[in-house]
Amino acid sequence: MMWRCVALLTVVAGVAAPAALRAQARECEWTADQFKNTQIRPNENMTEWQGSVRFECSDGTTLSADRAVRYDWMQEFQFSGNVMYRDSLRIMTADYLSQRGETNETYAQGSVVVTDLESGTVIRGSIMQMWGVSETRAEPLTVVRGRPTAVFQQSMRLTGEAPPLADGSSEVPRPAEPVQVVADSMQIVGTTLFRAFGRVDIRTATGQGSASAADYFQDEERFRLRGNARYEDRGNTMTADTLHFWMAAGEPVAFAAHPRATLIADGMNVVGDSIHGEIEGGQPRRVNVQGNATLTGEDGQVDAWRVTIEFEGDAVSVLRAVGWSRSGTTAGGRGAVAESAADSLSHLARIRTADFQLAADSIDASAPGGVIQEVHAIGNAYAERLLTSTDSTAASGSPDGAVAGEPGVADPPDGADAPRSGSGLPDILARDWVRGDTVIAVFETDTTAAADSAEVAPEPVEDGATAAPRRVLRKMTATGAGDVLASAVYRMAGRPGEPPTIHYVRSSTIDLAFQDGQIATADFGNPVYGRSFQPLAAIAPAFVEGADAAASGAVQVPSNGESRAEPRESEAGTATEAESP
């Protein structure tokens, strides 16, 4: 049976239709096995359809169900049994659906499935409510409850348009992988904003994430995870209060995390107030860390206000770090060389490895192919060769190479107040260091270690590769700024069994070359001032490599608490009073 019903489905179609159409009456034709019109009370009529009920309206909207009832006085429709609603924007199926014209509200229950025809997004839940545009609501709002699931289809190409092939045809884009979101409840605001709340889980083509809440901005293909946000993808992990991901073909191509952000990738742990970067093939390509940045890896640690990391393959190829200014903003400017221990290094960017540490306003490290080559430090620069396993027992009495009281980059202390290393000398004289407006450190492959292990098979690492050769410090160059000279303390080995000679030098340029972990040559610019020291026999055993006295801690220190050293004429020129660097 077919009947014509004018404006019968105004409420149903009006939820998704433009305002101009909602204001107009539309004609709908219906068919059903049974039809009944009953007057409940005066001016209160009930219309009922049963059996294969179907409505088709002039604007293309269709609705079918096993049963339909209309209550005229409430302006309400109720549909039950195999309900299917379709308009130009979406398809919805459910066990039960009701609509009220007074509130422009739609309620669906039981196996609710909503499919967006334009984007392909599919949402499944047990309960759904929709509110259309009204005087108090500028955009439609949909709420889905009952631990719903949403599946978002992504664009088919990662970036740009498909390039033409050699024959002039277009490249066939690869299929896009969908992104799935599961949460306690979901909202759809308008046609472009999706929100999920409560125990949010997200699965992409290659990873998975979780958060307290999440948003999806369809026009940007961007996900925002909020509250204890976490995302893992091919061995990489990101966490923060809020995570943003820009998606293409079901994979993240860019990200931003803030605050309390962390990134764990390829054995590297990055922490900062905010982290953002680009992703290619699941691996970070360029990462920027802003605010109290710390980078920790197998080879060392970086601390700075801001750090930029560029990757080549899965290895770091470029690292730039900028320190904190004294006023609380970033540094990066060139300033006078600090010549006092009271001038703290805590505001500078800092890099520390097992045998080398560096601090400056800004630091730029170059490591093509993941192999460290040079490190440039600019502004209040300070570099130090730390004690290694070879000389740590002799010089510091510590088998692990760490200097007592040295948690990070050392600030050369005044001799009077200096903590003492196992050598019996103040720290300022116990290690090799340079200081200037600019410091450049050059690294090379440790050929000595390679020769010592030539008869030993290389230790395998993951994927059948062999461990990378060890890089060691070969040269440190310090340059002063204007009238302020660079300064350095370094030790030159003496005859076998004798302690090294200690040199303190100030010059416009200082070049220290290392060989087998020791100073091989020292070159200076003009002018140059310095002082040389020969430790007394009382503390000489501390410098003899492998000496029993040093290993057992039998190093004599004068009872007055001061280290004793005999000054002698400097190789560099006329001796001057030793100054704190």
Regarding whether 320 and 236 lie in a shared domain, the answer is no
Within-domain flag for 156: no
Q: What is the pLDDT of residue 311?
A: 87
Q: What is the pLDDT of residue 578?
A: 37
Regarding whether 324 and 263 lie in a shared domain, the answer is no
Q: What is the pLDDT of residue 137?
A: 81
CB 330 within 8 A of CB 324: yes
* pLDDT tens-digit series, residues 214-234: 999 888 889 999 999 999 988
Neighbouring-strand partners of residue 170: 164
Mean pLDDT of 256-269: 90
Q: What is the pLDDT of residue 511?
A: 92
3-class SS at 508?
Answer: coil
Distance CA 179, CA 234 (A): 16
Tell me how crowded residue 547 is: count the other CB atoms within 10 A of its CB: 17
Distance CA 479, CA 495 (A): 31
Regarding whether 505 and 406 lie in a shared domain, the answer is yes
Within-domain flag for 172: no
CB 180 within 8 A of CB 150: yes
Within-domain flag for 139: no
- Could you tell me the residue range of the domain that residue 258 belongs to? 179-292
Regarding whether 533 and 430 lie in a shared domain, the answer is yes
| CATH of residue 376 | 2.60.450.10
Q: What is the pLDDT of residue 276?
A: 94
Q: With cut-offs at 50, 70 and 90, classify the pLDDT of residue 428.
A: low
Higher-pLDDT residue of 543, 56: 56
Alpha helices per DSSP H over 274-316: none
Within-domain flag for 113: no
Alpha-carbon distance values, 453 to 446, 458, 470 (Å): 11, 8, 12
Higher-pLDDT residue of 546, 346: 346
Alpha-carbon distance values, 126 to 78, 109, 113, 145, 149 (Å): 17, 6, 9, 6, 10
- Which of 65, 80, 107 represents a domain boundary (last residue)? 107
Q: Position of tokens 């057992």?
A: 552
Q: What is the pLDDT of residue 23?
A: 39
Q: What is the pLDDT of residue 519?
A: 82
Regarding whether 302 and 265 lie in a shared domain, the answer is no
C-alpha Rg value of the chain to the nearest Å = 37
Distance CA 517, CA 276 (A): 38
Regarding whether 412 and 340 lie in a shared domain, the answer is yes
Regarding whether 265 and 310 lie in a shared domain, the answer is no
What is the number of structural domains in the chain? 3
Full-prediction pTM beyond 0.75?
no
Sign of CA dihedral 115, 119, 120, 122: negative
CB 412 within 8 A of CB 341: yes
Q: With cut-offs at 50, 70 and 90, classify the pLDDT of residue 404.
A: very low
Q: Closest Cα partner for 381 from 428, 441, 307, 470? A: 441
- Containing 261, the helix (H) or strand (E) segment is strand 261-265
Using the predicted structure, report yes or no on whether residue 570 has a pLDDT greater than 80.
Answer: no
Regarding whether 324 and 261 lie in a shared domain, the answer is no
Q: Closest Cα partner for 441 from 378, 518, 529, 396? A: 378
Regarding whether 363 and 497 lie in a shared domain, the answer is yes
CB 533 within 8 A of CB 565: yes
CB 377 within 8 A of CB 363: yes
- Which of 71, 92, 107 represents a domain boundary (last residue)? 107
Regarding whether 372 and 473 lie in a shared domain, the answer is yes
Within-domain flag for 223: yes
Return the structure tokens found at 297.
């890896």
- Which of 238, 264, 292 represents a domain boundary (last residue)? 292
* pLDDT tens-digit series, residues 471-521: 788 888 999 998 899 999 988 877 777 777 889 999 999 999 888 777 888
Distance CA 553, CA 96 (A): 85
User: For residues 560, 562, 563 and 567, what is the CA-based torsion angle, rounded to 10 degrees?
Assistant: -110
Regarding whether 347 and 288 lie in a shared domain, the answer is no
Q: What is the pLDDT of residue 164?
A: 46
Regarding whether 478 and 380 lie in a shared domain, the answer is yes
CB 350 within 8 A of CB 357: yes
Within-domain flag for 319: yes
Within-domain flag for 50: yes
Within-domain flag for 160: no
Q: With cut-offs at 50, 70 and 90, classify the pLDDT of residue 338.
A: very low
Q: With cut-offs at 50, 70 and 90, classify the pLDDT of residue 39.
A: confident
Mean pLDDT of 52-77: 91
Average pLDDT over the chain reads 75
Q: Closest Cα partner for 564 from 433, 424, 432? A: 424
